[in-house]
């Protein structure tokens, strides 16, 4: 096994920064060979690419992502680009014999996600998807608690991902353009909570019983000349009139879990007052858990087996390495807390571990796993548009019906 892992990153916006930070710090907090080396970053805009590479410590930079992917020195390709190009880049990297880690959602469309998974099944490289919230220690602990059977038979799952940056003042960035993003809050935010619920419960979502897809703001300010601008307010260029938003601002749906629990999901960019409230609650016969990313170092736990005068919700401070809390040993002393960026460093550590032949701290989504999340995304949209329940076939031979 090589003692060094040469990484090529494609993308230099929000996720390019989050991933660069992860590759820059993973070797300092997790001593797991092979050591990732920040070899090449590829980006579209030559004007800011050199500064980005210098700021984050990438040895090389290029505007030719395919050259980076096919470079024989590269071992792992990290895709941090808009959804519509995930398939082209991931398939090229797999065919070049690389390991591939791709941002979420796996793709903007189910067909792209299926093509990526098919290519992965034929390739030698391992695949990974940046569903980073699995590696927030409190979410990883929730997974362990539920997988231990502590909640007993599951009755209800309730998940919501509530942001509010999508107001009328937000220009028509790529996330509001269906030909690039595939969908709006649905693929961007719902994907996270579908993955998190699948991860924590260990169960598949087997049907969508009803769904609503809605676009509140149909016209948004065009940004002069660029569709690549990231989240609100960072659009380059000058106002060039108004354009049609072609994606949802919000999607809500009801579903059933394989074990029989009822589930509700809500994703929106217009939940005024919430900025990154990624939250879920799970209720079982013997207990319940609740998580809210806006208090990301805490996990709520209710032990119904201890009913009585002292029964109540416990708030677990998930920062204690001495108590075996996931990832805590690698970071700071008890109760010093972690942030959003640490979930990416934790994931980079698990990716390196898996390439080095070791197990991750908690299960890692590969393309095949992320395709299951993509099938649920698709089923919700079909259910909303056709106004009918949709069963989801997860035996990896078909999609949703």
The residues of the shown chain that bind ligand SOE, judged by CB under 6 A, are 14, 163, 188-189, 231, 276
Alpha-carbon dihedral sign for residues 25, 28, 33, 36: positive
Report in angstroms how near the CB of residue 173 gets to ligand SOE at its nearest.
10
Q: Which is nearer to ligand SOE, 52 or 301 (CB)?
A: 52
Report in angstroms how near the CB of residue 230 gets to ligand SOE at its nearest.
8
Report in angstroms how near the CB of residue 187 gets to ligand SOE at its nearest.
9
Q: Which is nearer to ligand SOE, 14 or 31 (CB)?
A: 14
Q: Which is nearer to ligand SOE, 27 or 182 (CB)?
A: 182
Report in angstroms how near the CB of residue 363 gets to ligand SOE at its nearest.
19
Q: Which is nearer to ligand SOE, 14 or 313 (CB)?
A: 14
Picking from 396, 389, 338, 345, the residue whose alpha carbon sits closest to that of residue 367 is: 396
Q: Which is nearer to ligand SOE, 78 or 188 (CB)?
A: 188
Q: Which is nearer to ligand SOE, 84 or 256 (CB)?
A: 84
Residue 112 φ/ψ region, left for φ over 0, alpha for ψ in the -120 to 50 degree band, beta for the rest: alpha
Residue written as token pair 């680009």: 81
Residue sitting closest to ligand SOE (CB): 188
* Cβ neighbours around 243 below 10 Å, total: 17
Report in angstroms how near the CB of residue 276 gets to ligand SOE at its nearest.
6
End-to-end CA distance of the chain: 44
Question: Which contiguous run of DSSP H or E holds residue 41?
Answer: strand 35-42
Picking from 169, 254, 198, 233, the residue whose alpha carbon sits closest to that of residue 369 is: 198
How far apart are alpha carbons 197 and 143 in whole angstroms? 9
Q: Is the Cβ–Cβ distance between 257 and 156 less than 8 Å?
A: no
| Angle, vertex CA 363, rays to CA 102 and CA 141, nearest 5 | 120
Q: Is the Cβ–Cβ distance between 307 and 299 less than 8 Å?
A: no
Q: Which is nearer to ligand SOE, 133 or 301 (CB)?
A: 133
Angstrom CA distances, 326 to 35, 148, 343, stand at 21, 15, 11
Report in angstroms how near the CB of residue 163 gets to ligand SOE at its nearest.
6
Report in angstroms how near the CB of residue 337 gets to ligand SOE at its nearest.
18
């Amino acid at each position: 096994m090589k003692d060094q892992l040469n990484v090529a990153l494609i993308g230099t916006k929000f996720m390019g920064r989050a991933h660069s930070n992860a590759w820059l710090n993973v070797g300092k907090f997790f001593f797991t060979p092979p050591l990732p080396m920040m070899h090449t970053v590829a980006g579209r805009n030559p004007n800011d690419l050199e500064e980005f590479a210098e700021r984050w410590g990438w040895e090389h930079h290029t505007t030719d992502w395919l050259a980076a992917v096919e470079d024989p020195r590269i071992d792992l390709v990290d895709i941090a680009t808009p959804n519509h190009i995930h398939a082209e880049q991931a398939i090229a990297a797999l065919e070049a014999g690389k390991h591939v880690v791709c941002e979420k959602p796996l793709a903007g469309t189910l067909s792209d996600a299926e093509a990526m998974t098919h290519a992965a099944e034929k390739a030698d490289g391992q695949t990974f998807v940046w569903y980073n919230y699995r590696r927030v220690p409190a979410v990883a602990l929730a997974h362990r608690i539920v997988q231990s059977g502590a909640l007993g038979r599951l009755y209800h799952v309730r998940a919501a991902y509530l942001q509010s940056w999508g107001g009328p003042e937000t220009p028509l960035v790529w996330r509001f353009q269906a030909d690039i993003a595939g969908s709006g809050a649905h693929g961007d935010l719902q994907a996270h909570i579908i993955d998190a619920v699948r991860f924590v419960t260990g169960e598949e979502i087997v049907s969508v019983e009803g769904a609503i897809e809605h676009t509140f703001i149909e016209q948004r300010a065009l940004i002069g000349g660029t569709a690549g601008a990231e989240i609100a307010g960072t659009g380059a260029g000058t106002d060039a009139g108004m354009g049609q938003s072609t994606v949802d601002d919000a999607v809500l749906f009801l579903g059933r879990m394989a074990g029989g629990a009822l589930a509700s999901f809500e994703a929106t960019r217009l939940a005024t007052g919430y900025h990154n409230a990624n939250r879920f609650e799970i209720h079982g016969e013997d207990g319940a858990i609740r998580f809210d990313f806006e208090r990301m170092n805490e996990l709520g736990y209710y032990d119904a087996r201890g009913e009585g005068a002292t029964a109540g919700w416990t708030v677990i401070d998930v920062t204690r390495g001495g108590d075996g809390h996931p990832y805590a040993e690698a970071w700071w002393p008890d109760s010093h807390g972690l942030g959003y960026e640490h979930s990416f460093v934790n994931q980079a550590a698990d990716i390196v571990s898996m390439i080095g032949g070791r197990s991750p701290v908690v299960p890692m989504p590969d393309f095949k796993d992320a395709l299951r999340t993509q099938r649920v995304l698709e089923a919700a949209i079909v259910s909303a548009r056709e106004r009918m329940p949709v069963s989801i076939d997860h035996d990896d031979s078909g999609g949703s019906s």
